[in-house]
Structure 1
Amino acid sequence: MSSQDLRAVTWTAATEGDGTPSLSLIDQTALPHALERLDVTTVDQLIDAIVRLVVRGAPAIGAAGGYGVALAMAQGEREGWDRARLDAEVARVRAARPTAVNLMVCVDRVAPLIDAGPAAVLAEADAIVREDLEANHAMGAFGADWLQKRIAVSGSGDRPLRILTHCNTGALATAGWGTALGVIRELHGRGRLETVYADETRPLLQGARLTAWELAQEGIPHFVQADGAAAGTILRGEVDAAIVGADRIAANGDTANKVGTVGIALACAYAGIPFMVAAPTTTVDLATATGADIHIELRGEAEILEWAGVRTAPAASRGHNPAFDVTPASLVTALVTERGVLEVGAGETPADGLS
């Protein structure tokens, strides 16, 4: 199976033996060494899976949140919860990761259907997954079209492109196909991709473990590089464009994404090459005016101070571990969504294009 055909989040009507509905998640902590699925049947298990990054990537977390409402309803039916308890458990799912707005958007979309019953809730969660998959294919085509035209206009001709990406934005991070990696897949399918530079993405190596795995599954030429190598690779002229995803995009175009993204944007600006953000419209939060209003999740210090459970820093050292950073809109050359491309760095804003 090609990695693009994987579904990171799927609802199953029953687990073996006990007839309990469950949410089946690809365990992304096990990749690339093993492709395993984790079946969760309770809210606690789902929240743990989101926090531990068993499921990750803003669109995939959003899909998990939508199905999480159905999961909470099923658990509440088994355990005799009243409505106040059910609402409280749904709220816990919604708050499991604070930066990725898709989780909140999808829970808020599904939760009002609780009174209509489990079938209505599941139908809406299924619709979220279907729409995300369709959006990913659309933005892949829009992004590839824009990049090919932009590079050709710059005088480089219509040639295979060298693309840098950060973190994981493929089938594993979405309902399927991918956002930034979807653009890369589209270029590859057109025969217009030379190679990909995949940043390893410290500290949890989503690039080295997940993006490289997806690229390898499809025979897409690529290099894995240290995050600290990205700026130098760009400034040496070895990259034609960088494409990243997003966890939340403010109304002015400021973009929160995996920590390390802003350095790539700065290097692209200095080198004069495109820095593209690919994300569905569900990632755009028009209620958040600027990036200064985006809450940045701080993860556990051990992710920075240890490696494979072994302490690598002095005992007296503290760990500063922001999961995301914010790239100013002025550094975002283009924002591609399922509706088309906004040239944010030239003054177009999500508030103008999506409201």
Structure 2
Amino acid sequence: MSEKMKTIMDYDTVALDEERHALAIIDQTQLPYRTEILYLTTQKEIWNAIYLLQVRGAPAIGVSAAIGIYLAAREIQADHFEEFYRQFQEAKDYLDSSRPTAVNLSWALKRQEQVVLANRERSVPEIVEALHQEALNIREEDIRVCRAIGENGLTLVKPGDGLLTHCNAGKLAAVKYGTATAPMYLGQERGYGFRIYADETRPLLQGARLTAYELQESGLDVTLLCDNMSAAAMRNGWINAVFVGCDRVAANGDTANKIGTSLVALAAKRYHIPFYVCAPTSTIDMETATGGDIHIEQRKDYEVTEMWYERRMAPEGVKVFNPAFDVTDNDLITGIVTEYGVAKAPYKEAFEEIFRKKMKE
């Protein structure tokens, strides 16, 4: 359904609708023309929403997965733990197959699995309620984590700076604040007067449709750039820092983010502009050694050749290379901004220190 009186900032990106027993999301494929809230109750609906990018962004995908697997657990008919756990694992594996690059998907599902295992001596209804509470916890944690990333990111810039971002790592990619946009939103609250530059982000235009939209709706000074314009903006002296999000961080500090991110990093290094990746610790995958070990999702050809056009804009039968992500090598990254501080090279040691801080909480 659509409501004309609200702005996009008045809606929850991801939520659990308790009355409907549904995952409630903003359908991001309809933005910026129309704000539609989807209420998803079946696993197929939730799988499709993640795969089709109706819900997207690592934090939002993680929260959706946590709620989705809880909803799946509610439907399991089992009198004893073994049968419940078997069906739970089937649902978990199914949801996990929707977006392989986004580590928050598997992270949230594994976290919910640990809840199941920790409560194996309890009744099935009690296990389901524990999953319910953990899903709500994960959602609230996302808000706290993104705000902390914003606070840490804000220490790296000064009022009046020009900030460039790629893709959408904003409110629409999380529950609130976003990751790469969190310093921008907090800066706006404090009168920093940032000038924001948003790459359009071909081929799915998340920067044009989502980032430019949500920042403008929020009253920030935002300028939209075609992807091949960012180097020119840097050369002009308009950009003081780059903030991007990511879907997975390898143990060595390589990061996977939306396709085109590595080109922004290369240009930033050429023009001596700091390049920061904003990443919740849930996105850091210490079991993945390098960026070369990250599975990169390949998308459909039509996203490049036909989507957004009234007529096909490429010859029939032409081959298309359409990876959803690319890997930014760690030597191009100035720092990785987490909720526990800013990690800098050597990254493996920096991450270990950050996880030590996290364990002390």
Partner of 1:341: 342
| Equivalences for residues 171-182 of structure 1 within 5 A | 171-182=171-182
Is contact 1:160-1:191 (8 Å) kept? no
Q: Take 1:67 and 1:129, find their aligned partners in 2: how far apart are those partners?
A: 9
1:205 aligns to 2:215 (yes or no) = no
Amino acid at match of 1:341: V
Partner of 1:137: 147
The CA deviation at 1:65 is: 0.6
Deviation per residue, 1:165-193 (Å, 9 max, x gap): 01111111012111111111122222223
Is contact 1:163-1:242 (8 Å) kept? yes
Amino acid at match of 1:317: V
Partner of 1:152: none
Pair 1:25–1:77, CA change in 2 (3 A): farther
Partner of 1:99: 101
2:234 aligned counterpart, secondary structure: helix
1:215 aligned counterpart, secondary structure: helix
| Equivalences for residues 15-54 of structure 1 within 5 A | 15=20, 21-54=21-54
Partner of 1:188: 188
Q: TM-score, normalised by structure 1?
A: 0.90
Partner of 1:110: 112
Partner of 1:267: 267
1:163 aligns to 2:163 (yes or no) = yes
2:327 aligned counterpart, secondary structure: strand
1:175 aligned counterpart, secondary structure: coil
Is contact 1:139-1:179 (8 Å) kept? yes
| Equivalences for residues 290-305 of structure 1 within 5 A | 290-305=290-305
| Structure 1 unaligned regions, length at least 5 | 16-20, 149-158
Q: TM-score, normalised by structure 2?
A: 0.89
Pair 1:41–1:82, CA change in 2 (3 A): farther
| Equivalences for residues 253-264 of structure 1 within 5 A | 253-264=253-264
Pair 1:225–1:71, CA change in 2 (3 A): same
Q: Take 2:10 and 2:144, find their aligned partners in 1: how far apart are those partners?
A: 13
Identity of aligned residues (%): 41
1:117 aligned counterpart, secondary structure: helix
Is contact 2:252-2:347 (8 Å) kept? no
| Structure 2 unaligned regions, length at least 5 | 1-5, 121-125, 357-361
More off after superposition, 308-317 vs 193-202? 308-317
Is contact 1:68-1:90 (8 Å) kept? no
Deviation per residue, 1:2-49 (Å, 9 max, x gap): 64553211111233xxxxx11111100111111111111111110000
Q: CA-atom RMSD, angstroms?
A: 2.0
2:300 aligned counterpart, secondary structure: coil
Q: Take 1:3 and 1:185, find their aligned partners in 2: how far apart are those partners?
A: 14
The CA deviation at 1:146 is: 2.2
Q: 1:127 aligns with which of 120, 137, 141?
A: 137
The CA deviation at 1:306 is: 0.9
Is contact 2:70-2:132 (8 Å) kept? yes
Partner of 2:3: none
The runs of at least 4 consecutive aligned structure 1 residues that moved more than 4 Å come to 1-5, 345-348
